[in-house]
Structure 1
């Protein structure tokens, strides 16, 4: 009987050591800290088994496995995230984040500051919705992206398609294309 009590106590203790004690603000901070440290295991501790990312008209549902692939893709660009503001609003968090990366630098939008609405379920993050990116210049972004894609298609067709390949290999090809483009002989 004593063994069962100890086993029950330890099981209760271990299952209760998750994020039950973290506030929504702390969960959001941990989420971005996990990205900054490239620690997917930390990240899985604060998200639900399925997480949805909404950017404009794009609704992207992820399982933890598919979110891991997105995480790996993102990590290739060596991003950093800095929380500028956190505000609680109707059981959600509105967070303003400045992010920098090799990709944003190339697209001439670095740092990219955006605001997100983060929703929770059972003390875990379940949804991130992009609200606004006030300092983004989407015209410059599109011009730089299109120049890179078109140049790569013509000069390095083996890398063509990187823009739609959201795997780690796609991100590696994206960085290769940037490097080749920036070091091209016709660049001034």
Structure 2
């Protein structure tokens, strides 16, 4: 009887650990699929009440309501996400992601590939930390961005500030700036 109880206990432990690993990977996959398909309600299902995105020196804390603003900013650029690889690293997932969008195309780095460390609380995504960019040509990226910003500052100052405006209006202005720059 003792052996049966011990065996059942071990099976429950192994199964729950396996389920947790699988559900974390599912949460990450569903997060990027929801971004890709434009389904914010699906994103809300896999993120915690608070979510932090870390990109270099920028730390952006969100709750579900103000994360919607970031989501709408991203959606203006008509993104497409592909999960290339998911690796379990302790209690976190390391994801390799490819992101295509109109902004990255203009900046000549499309798709933009990066590694992201994803942390969880109670099975929900709480933090996305960009670890490394893969084969990004930062010289081209910065030259294109700087040329665009300089052009807008001198020729269309009403759009100035678009590059740091992470709202839907900022993204729309970013696309307007690209269009104006291309027409010059």
Q: TM-score by structure 1 length? A: 0.85
User: In proportion to residue count, which structure has more helix?
Assistant: 2
Partner of 2:85: 85
Q: Does 1:41 align with 2:41?
A: yes
User: What do you get for the CA RMSD once the two structures are aligned?
Assistant: 1.4
Within 2, Cα distance between the matches of 1:86 and 1:144?
Answer: 31
CA distance in 1, matches of 2:121, 2:52: 12
Tell me how many residue pairs correspond in the alignment. Answer: 165
Residue of structure 1 in register with 2:58 after alignment: 58
Match for residue 182 of structure 2? 182
Partner of 1:158: 158
Gaps of 5+ in 1: 1-19
SS at match of 1:78: coil
Residue 163 of structure 1, CA deviation: 1.2
1:138 is displaced (CA, Å) by 1.4
3-state SS of paired residue (1:133): strand
* Alignment partner of 1:98 is 2:89: no
Per-residue deviation at 1:143?
0.8
Give the SS at the match of 1:163: helix
1:60, distance to aligned residue in structure 2 (A): 1.2
SS at match of 1:98: strand
CA shift for structure 1 position 183: 1.5
**Which residue is 1:70 aligned to?**
70
In 2, the alpha carbon distance for the partners of 1:58 and 1:170 equals: 17
* Alpha-carbon offset, residue 117 of structure 1: 0.6
Task: Provide the residue aligned with 1:24 in structure 2.
Answer: 24
Post-superposition shift, 1:100?
0.4
Residue-by-residue CA offset, 1:128-157 (whole Å, 9 max, x unaligned) = 010100211112111100100100111111
Matched, 1:134 2:110: no
Unaligned runs of 5+ in 2: 1-19
